[in-house]
Structure 1
Amino acid sequence: MDYENTEIHEYIIDCQFLPCINWFKISIDQKYINFDIYERWKKMSFGNRCTLLGGGGLIQLSVPVEKGRDQKALFRDIKISYLENWQLKFWRTIVSCYNRAPFFEFYKDELQETLMKKHTFLMDLNMELISLCFKYLYDSKVIRVIDGNKMTKIDSLEHYLLPKNSQALPSPITYHQMFSDRHGFQPNLSILDLLFMEGPEAKFLLSK
């Protein structure tokens, strides 16, 4: 992926849960963040999961979804399951990983409030979290839900970034991470890692 040339294109990108850093690097030069209303649900994707770095190494958080969804289902129709208190578990994990990070206190209240809402649909949760991250990173971003089949001049990057390959992709930026003394630098973690560690500087790192 040639990040330096992304500004000359417009993309459809997948609607990730607390997206990875590469996702935001791709989006930084985009006027519009385009999600496809007909995006297919893909299991084992970042649609319902993100990667953090803890004391023991990489941690994957996965939002549970209602069963019975196959690969033909539309992402917009995927419902979140609340049979377990995953929100509390997620928040405790985030606190455990980042409570000593330099900018954790700066972002934690709004993040916790958004994460604890009981959204019915996964897409709604993801879009609200993405909007929150955009507020911290960019002056303005317009999120559009479009019909990708009717947009002939837009390239699709849906499912370009997957959990199985994200660690192998070249990292667009490097920065100090919690626990890097134990595990070295880990590329393409959730944007939370960058925000908690670098704060307002994150947007400048992404723009390089």
Structure 2
Amino acid sequence: MHYDLLLSTALTPPISYFTLLYHHQSGRVGLEAAEHYIKQSYRNRCYILGPNGVQPLSIPVELPQGTKTPITEVRLSTHGQWRSVWHQTLATAYGASPYYEYYIDELEALWGTLEDDSLWALNLRLLQHLCPLLEIDPACLCPTEDFTPLECHEADYRYSLRPKQGTLPPAYLPQAYHQLDRPARGFVPELSILDLLFNMGPESPLILQASYHPYPHE
């Protein structure tokens, strides 16, 4: 099957991820469903900006087959109170942001009442909810049936978009926007899409639109 863009599943992923979705939504976006789980990635974590700077938010997971667990079989851990941690952390970081109250109830309902305890199902559910808020058609999201070998697709960002030592798309040029806890050194890019939504609300699609330059060197 042909895909116009390949991405990994991700938990409230960074703005670059949604910028790619925004500008490829007229085609078919493949969400990698035939890989094994990868640690230390956006698959089960995101990064937000709080009073003390950038901090990670993650969901503990269980791997029934260890490092060879297919991504669709990764389970949300029953240990730890991650929902309570997320509630308190997001409230502390964004409670005073302009649009926090506008979005938070529906988001917490999504990760608070899961019928399926798989990471894949939660991520997809969140993506399908977030896309319309960003003027992205969720119908473009297509779970892959087979694994596309690396370096076989020119718009493959499954493994280059990662928290540490990742490679941003050449066409992605982050646009600064208002951040409630922006540090003295200035704007912090590549945070979770939640940072953009809580701070900019319905103006968020404008940031996604302005952040993409298909011919960055011209």
The answer to whether TM tops 0.5 is yes
Verify: 1:160 aligned to 2:160, yes or no: yes
Cα pair 1:167 1:188 within 8 Å, conserved: no
Q: CA deviation at 1:67?
A: 4.8
Cα pair 1:167 1:187 within 8 Å, conserved: no
TM-score by length of 2: 0.83
Q: Which amino acid aligns with 2:133?
A: Y
Query: CA RMSD of the aligned region, Å?
Result: 2.4
Partner residue in 2 for 1:141? 138
3-state SS of paired residue (1:94): helix
Partner residue in 2 for 1:17? 11
Verify: 1:74 aligned to 2:76, yes or no: no
Verify: 1:129 aligned to 2:126, yes or no: yes
The more displaced of 115-124 and 77-86 is 115-124
Q: Which runs of 5+ in 2 are unaligned?
A: 211-218
Q: CA deviation at 1:88?
A: 1.1
Bigger share in helix: 1
Among residues 35, 45, 49, which one is paired with 2:45 in the alignment? 49
What count of residue pairs does the alignment treat as equivalent? Answer: 200
3-state SS of paired residue (1:164): coil
Cα distance in 1 for residues equivalent to 2:13 and 2:142: 17
3-state SS of paired residue (2:161): coil
Q: CA deviation at 1:159?
A: 1.7
Verify: 1:102 aligned to 2:104, yes or no: no
Cα distance in 2 for residues equivalent to 1:144 and 1:54: 33
Q: Which amino acid aligns with 1:206?
A: L
Cα distance in 1 for residues equivalent to 2:86 and 2:195: 14
Q: Which runs of 5+ in 1 are unaligned?
A: 1-8
Q: Which amino acid aligns with 1:158?
A: R
Among residues 87, 91, 105, which one is paired with 2:83 in the alignment? 87
Q: Alpha carbons of 1:111 and 1:183: their partners in 2 closer, same or farther (altered >3 Å)?
A: farther
Q: Which amino acid aligns with 2:20?
A: I
Deviation >6 Å, runs of 4+: 150-154, 167-170
Percent sequence identity over matched residues? 28
TM-score by length of 1: 0.87
Q: CA deviation at 1:176?
A: 1.2
Partner residue in 2 for 1:177? 179
Q: Alpha carbons of 1:62 and 1:69: their partners in 2 closer, same or farther (altered >3 Å)?
A: farther
Partner residue in 2 for 1:3? none
Q: Alpha carbons of 1:115 and 1:11: their partners in 2 closer, same or farther (altered >3 Å)?
A: same
Cα distance in 2 for residues equivalent to 1:14 and 1:67: 17
Cα distance in 1 for residues equivalent to 2:161 and 2:68: 20
Partner residue in 2 for 1:202? 204
Among residues 15, 28, 41, which one is paired with 2:22 in the alignment? 28
Cα pair 1:57 1:183 within 8 Å, conserved: no
Cα distance in 1 for residues equivalent to 2:165 and 2:30: 22
Q: CA deviation at 1:193?
A: 0.2
Q: Spell out, residue by residue over 1:59-107, the C-alpha distance to the aligned partner (whole angstroms, 9 max, x if none).
A: 1011000155543221111001011111111111011100100111111
Q: Alpha carbons of 1:139 and 1:66: their partners in 2 closer, same or farther (altered >3 Å)?
A: closer
Cα distance in 1 for residues equivalent to 2:67 and 2:156: 18
